Every structure is written in structure tokens, then in C-alpha cells.
Amino acid sequence: MCTLFGYTHDEFRQFTVRDLHPQEALPHVLAEFEALARGEKQLVAGIRCQRKDESIFYADVKATAALLEGQAFLVGFFSDVTERYHAEEALIVERNSLARRVEERTADLSRANLELLRAVRAKDEFLATMSHELRTPLNAILALSESLLEQFRGPLNERQQAALHNIEASGRHLLTLINDILDLSKVESGRMELQCDIFMIAEVCEASLLFVKELALKKQLQLAFQQSNQLARMQADSRRLKQILVNLLSNAVKFTHKGGRVSLAVNVDSEAGVIRFVVEDTGIGMDAEGMARLFQPFVQLDSRLSRQHEGTGLGLALVHRLTELHGGSVAVASELGKGSRFTIALPYTPPAPLEAPRLPTTAPLTGERAMHSAVVIEDVETAGEQLVRYLKELHIHAVIHPQGEGALDQVAKLHPDVIFLDLQMPGQSGWEVLRQLKADPHLHSIPVIIVSVVDERTKGLAAGAAEYLVKPISREAIRRVLGVVGAGLETAYEAMIIAVPLTPPPVNGRILLVEDNEINISAIGSYLRDRGYHVVEARNGREALARVDEARPDVILMDIQMPEMDGLEATRQLRAQPTYAALPIIVMTALAMPDDRERCMAAGASEYLTKPVSLKGLVVTIQHMLKV
């Protein structure tokens, strides 16, 4: 103890407990020793002790009470634990410091997340604005082209018609680019969902090759297609797979010189569980530096002002994202001047063989259910006639019902083998028709195939549809979905159309056109006036409210993004007035982002049309609104 505290033996004998500890520690020390004397404690840890040179050390004390010649003593052992104490103290300091750093880092991450959310919102707002700003002039371009091609204001010569067709084709190309940008945004933000179905692989490949066939013929290219198993089927999103193949094939055709070769090969490897789509060309090829930047969006390998090939650099970025979304991978092999080879590898599990559909016990037990009749519930005459033509080629008797109202009675009357249903119809929507069909015990077993411009496959199948097609449709798509629902196409029948004819509108049909873009006002207004409508114009929502009583419209055509007062607010205020609570209001807008339709319908719109608007389709919609 003398050595521990730095005193001589004689000095130490003169001390009490009070002399061995610093003044500030005495209350704690005395309380601890009293507890030891009473036998309440065994060990006192980390007591501050003071040496003769006034340096401080820490000790663990183990003591017990003892009697010697009738006098009470404390017999104790002191252990110098200063090093351990300092280590523990340092650990506590480090732990507290770490906790503070974690807290600070968490705060930094929270701020970063907030910034990221703001950036995502800003990006979505930018895309919505960009979509609007591009779709608005595109609407004018396509509307004027369509109007002039119908030759209401006089005949056109061949050169004029060819020029207008080129204008329209260029406008459609720009619209495709806009859709590519929105698709890429959906994939990157996690908002794109795959709509998987089982389909014939060869049909998707042939449809993709058909898309590039015309350009390939112009460049005198050889197009080749090879598939290891022509009858193979797979489960994936057939629309997105076609988008992948079309992008790859389009690039191959674009970058291959006249007289070259472009091929698509499909290798189905059931044992390895993979299917490979290989697009190969004899085109300009790429170097290693170019391949390293290949899948970055908006990147063009040839960015010179004098470059020979057009494009935005979105196609391959979409290919990469959509392939990853399917759980697959993309591989590239290329040599400058000698061509390129792109390989898409997707997971593959052979689908179960098609089973014959179960039939009612009264039906003959044949291998497949023969389909002889169909009801087409479609309000656009051209779309209905196209579908009837396709069904007639498959020997299916088709009847068109041109609206949602009365569709249930028509189906009950004819009791067809299959129903084709559009969703966006004035009055009663296709969703309501589908709900009624599935609620009817006599009709619910009839398969319903939705055919719509709205891509809501998951919602449609959940509501009871047997299959879902997105317009525009093809013969191959009709054959495929009929195969899925168990169609056996046997006996030939004549197709019949029962549809409301497209009659000229009444001269007294009055329309209030609310639109701020002067070109659109001119194009749409002129077209409607040529069709016999009386058109009153308003440049914003406030002006529309001021002119509606004077205009006495039968239908209002409402843009959404306008100065002073937007179309949503104008629609709400109109609906708040009893006079206009039921007046048809058709929204025509470039707002084409997710939930935009729901926002417009919630504000009181009767119908929602996305710009560019087909003027023919607009007239059909107006006529239905007016019950013409």
C-alpha cells in the first residue's frame, strides 16, 4: 500500500481513509466504505485515489470487516486499475463519438433523401411539362395533316398528298420518341410493371421483323430469321420484348450499308433455363470505347455535327433497362467496320402445355372449344370494323355494339362465344360493362378480351377479363389471344356489322373550344366548322366561364394547362353550377403522365383525350356525347 500511494511506512500509518483520496471524491468514498463495513458490498470499482505527489489513480477495492482485540477493522485489497479505467473511459468517449457520427450521418442521409425526393419530383414535373410542350404542337401538326388529307377544302395533287403523308409520318415518329422518354423514366423510377403472358416466340419475332421490313427493302438488305424451336412459347411481357427486338433491329438496319445483312436468331435452351435472342448485322460496327458508352441514355456514339445517322440514344438504354426488368442480360460483340452482334439472354421455363378449356356438362366433349361468334363492344367505327375483318378471316361471326349502354342486353340476346370490349367509351365505360358481365350468372362465363389504348392489363385481368390487348392491334395478336382462351376456329361464317353510321353533325351543334394554343385553335376549330359545328373559342378557363352563358354550348372541349385559370379549375367551377352539372366536357390535354386521367375525371370531365388528338376520333366522341 505504501508503494501504491508513494508514502513511507511511518507516513502511511498516520493516515485515515480521508487522507488517501482527493477532496471531491470523499463523499462517494466514505459512503462506499461504510457500505463495505456493513457488509452490504463486496467490491468498489473505480475509486479515485491520490498519491503523495498528488497524482490520481483508480483502484478496485475488495474489503471485509474484521475484529481485532475488540476493535473493528476493515481488511481490504487495493488493485490499481487506472489503465483499464482509462481504456474504458476512452471506449465510452469513442462510443459517444460514434453515436454522434451515426446521428450526424443519419441526418445527412435524411437530407440527401429529401434532396433525392425533390429531384425525383422535379424530374417527374419536367417530364410532364416536356410531354405537354411537345404533344401540343404535335397535336396541331397531326390534326392539320389529317384535316388536309381528308380534302374537305378541295382536292390535293399527288405531290401534296405525299408531302402531307411525310409530315404525318414525321409527327408520329416524334410521338414515338416522346413515349420512349416516358418509358425510360418509368423503368428508372420503378413505376413500370411487366404485363407477363404466355405467347408464341416466333409470332413476336416475326412482328418485330415486319416493323423494319420496309426500311430494309429500301436499303436492299437481306433480312434473316432463324429459331431453334418454331413452336416454342415463353412467359414474359410480349409487348416489351417486341420493343426490345424492334429497337435492336432498327439500329441494325440503320447502321448497315446498302446490300448488307441483318439477322435475328433465337436459341431456346430448356436445359440451361435460358433463351437467347441474337441480332447481328454487317454494319459499321463499334470500337471498345464506343461499346463502353453504349447503354447510357441520350448518348450518341457519333455526336459530330456531320453525323450520318439520326437518333436520340434512347433505344439501347431502353433495351438494357427492359432486359434487366425481365431478369436478363445484354451482351455485345462488335468490330469497327465489320458489324455488331447483340445477345439478349432471358430466363426461360417451358410453359405448361395448353389445356383444353373446361366446358359445361351439356357441351360436347371435344378437344377444343370452337368459337363461332363474337360481340365487339367498340364506339370507334374504324376500330370495330378492323376487328371484325380480323375475326372474319378466322371464320368468326362478329356483331358490333357501338356503346356501353345496352351492351349487356346485346350479349344476353346473342350469347356469343367471346366478347371484345373497349374501355374508353362515352356514357357507360368498359369497366362498368365488364363489372356487369361478370356479375350476371348467365353471362359471367363468356371470356372477355379487352382491347384498349389504355395499358392497364393488371387491373383488367383482376376485374375478370380473360385477356388484354393494347391498341393498335394486329392479326397475330387476335390469333394469340383466341388461342389463349381456348379458341378452336372451324366453321366459316359471314361477319355482320351493326353500328351507328358516322353521319354529318347537325348544323346547330354548338361547341365551346377552350384552348390557349393558336395553332390548335385554328386546326381544331376549322375542322369542326367544316363538319357543320358552330364553334365559340375561349383562350383560358376564366374566359370560358365568362363566355359559357353566351355560347350556350352542347359540348365543351377543354384544354388543361392554360394561363390565368387552368382547365381543371374551370371544369370544377362549371360542375358547381346546376346549369352545367351534366354538360359534356371533353378534356383534350398533353398531360399523359400516370394518374393524369384520374385527376381530370375527378374534376368532372366526361371524357379524356390525350394530345395529339385524332380529329376523326374527336368528332365520333362529340357525336356520342350529343347522342347523334
Alpha carbons 178 and 183: distance in angstroms, whole number: 9
Amino acid 360: pLDDT: 37
Amino acid 490: pLDDT: 36
Amino acid 180: pLDDT: 67
E strands along 209-350, which residues? Answer: 222-227, 233-236, 261-269, 274-281, 329-335, 339-347
Give me the average pLDDT of each 10-residue run along the chain (628 residues).
90 86 88 79 80 91 79 82 89 91 90 82 70 70 77 80 77 70 64 79 87 84 85 87 90 90 92 93 84 63 41 72 90 90 92 52 39 88 80 87 90 91 88 92 91 79 87 74 62 35 56 88 85 91 93 93 90 94 90 75 90 80 80
Amino acid 546: pLDDT: 94
Alpha carbons 620 and 628: distance in angstroms, whole number: 9
Amino acid 261: pLDDT: 92
Alpha carbons 405 and 403: distance in angstroms, whole number: 6
C-alpha neighbours within 13 Å on the C-beta side of residue 328: 24
Residues 6+ apart with CB under 8 A from 89: none
C-alpha cell of 557? 372541349
E strands along 160-310, which residues? Answer: 197-200, 222-227, 233-236, 261-269, 274-281
Beta-ladder partners of 235? 198
